[in-house]
Amino acid sequence: MRVIICGSDQVGASIAAYLSKEDNDVTVVDSASENLTQINNSLDVNTVTGYPSDPDTLNNAGANECDMIIAVTEHDEINMVACQVGHSLFGIPKKIARIRKQNYLDPSWSNLFSRAHMPIDVIISPEILVANDIVERLSIPGTTTAVSLGDGVAHLIGVICLEDCPVLHTPLGQLDKLFPDLSFSIVSIVRGTKNIVPDETDMLEVEDEAYIIVDSMHIRRVMAAFGHLEKEARKIIVSGGGNIGISLIRKLQAQISGLQLKIIEQDSNRANFLSAELENIIILNGNTLERNIMEEASISTAETYIALMNDDESNILGSLLAKQYGCERVVTLVNNNAYYPLVGPLGIDTLVSPKSIIVSNIMQHVRRGRIISIHNIHEGETEVMEIEISDSSNIANKKVADIEFPPSVVIGAIIRNKKIIIVGDDDKIKVQDRVIILSSSEHAREVEKMLSVHVDLL
């Protein structure tokens, strides 16, 4: 498949890295030549310097023979025009654009992106995606990750094992005997920098992060079994009233009643804007890193502090201060990969990576075929795929024990007739099953081939 990626920032570079590893012909286009030099030095891709919306630039990038254009520059208008030019002049079959300004996404203007006007097949809104991700995590307090699977039938959750975790030092093979009426399976363990695919003899240790596939009806009881009895937050402080912050507040207000919400916003003009836009919200104008503002926000009685500022360092420091002042839980947005290994040891409860969320969503559309959803965990090293089994799949009507996946690939569960099956070796994969598979990112393409998953550009 030939793909043009417009934009060479972290998101564009990450998508290029994923697609190039899977033997696609990838060309990255951007006017920032220094970014392209870095990409050239680290990835097996082509690069073209120029404005992504310029017809000559796209032509030089091979748009005449392109299967897909993914426009993820920082400018909505460039992304939109690049897709329009790709469609009108070069007939590119599939067009994906990142659009951040919510005015463009207002339902009143939905006709803008019709095939007769600006034919963009998939619109990615980072602010909405990140807000949805945070709300999902807040709905299951105590988790580091919360992903809905099988239309809500199951969840993948991440849990840190603390010293009071009741199942520490217990062989995993014994857990179904200890909890016979609970449907769950530990499919991955992160220990320090190691990612472990566990077997029945493995045991959890203090500070392990366990990734668990669980029947959604059993989540609370499974969390309790792992020592997490946190209550759903009612008092929430959001630091940063940007586009992500305002999207999150609106979503929380729409879904959960009775919340006490406060926003801390440093920019006075933005604070005034938020006051005019939002109702029933306390808005404080000030710097989160100053103690008096945190005390004015009553941080000591808050159950959750969510750091959504534009600066990673401020988010991390603000989160640490919130914990020091008595806040029960912190959710921290971090863009820079270099900080990921640090935030856990510092005591940050939940890390939100916009880049990973956006890349996961885009890859879901790139690999459309029979793949229902794709999610990245463990800093993008592991992919969770929800795949519908077709009659042409190589694993259809086979027992799990007879399927020869690479060692880093695990079948975590089967969704059949809207019920979850925690798989054993004797379970058989049937046509129309939804299979939840965890794979290292390097073997994800191999899994697709085994399951006869094809890229669908229509």
The single-letter code of the amino acid at 321 is: L
Q: What is the 3-state secondary structure (H, E, C) of 335-384?
A: CCHHHHHHHHHHCCCEEECHHHHHHHHHHHHHCCCCEEEEEEECCCCEEE
Through-space distance between the first and last CA atoms of the chain, rounded to whole angstroms: 14
Return per-residue pLDDT of the chain as tens, 458 residues: 899 999 998 889 988 988 887 778 999 999 988 899 999 899 999 999 999 999 999 999 999 999 999 999 999 999 999 999 999 999 999 999 999 887 888 777 777 877 777 889 989 998 899 999 999 989 898 898 899 999 999 999 999 999 999 999 999 999 989 999 999 999 999 988 788 889 899 999 998 999 999 999 999 999 999 999 888 889 999 999 998 999 999 999 998 888 999 999 999 999 999 999 998 899 999 999 999 999 999 999 999 999 999 999 999 999 999 999 999 999 999 988 788 777 777 888 888 988 888 888 887 777 655 778 888 877 667 888 898 888 878 888 999 889 888 888 889 999 999 999 998 888 999 999 999 999 887 777 777 777 655 444 44
What pLDDT does 456 receive?
Answer: 44
- The residue among 109, 100, 86 whose CA lies nearest residue 11 is 100
C-alpha span between 48 and 28 (Å, rounded): 6
The helix or strand, by DSSP H or E, that contains position 249, with its residue range, turns out to be helix 243-255
User: Mapping DSSP to helix (H, G, I), strand (E, B) and coil, where does residue 158 land?
Assistant: strand
Which domains are present in the chain? Answer: 2-124 (3.40.50.720), 131-225 (3.30.70.1450), 237-352 (3.40.50.720), 357-450 (3.30.70.1450)
C-alpha span between 30 and 85 (Å, rounded): 15
In sequence order, the 6+-apart residues with CB closer than 8 A to the CB of 35 are 8, 9, 13
Judge whether 160 and 206 are in contact, CB under 8 Å. no
DSSP calls for 162-185: -TT-TTTT--GGGHHHHSTT--EE
Judge whether 413 and 427 are in contact, CB under 8 Å. no
What pLDDT does 291 receive?
Answer: 93
Strand blocks (E) in 295-341: 304-307, 329-333
**HSE-up of 98 (CA within 13 Å, CB side)?**
23
- The residue among 284, 350, 289, 282 whose CA lies nearest residue 325 is 289
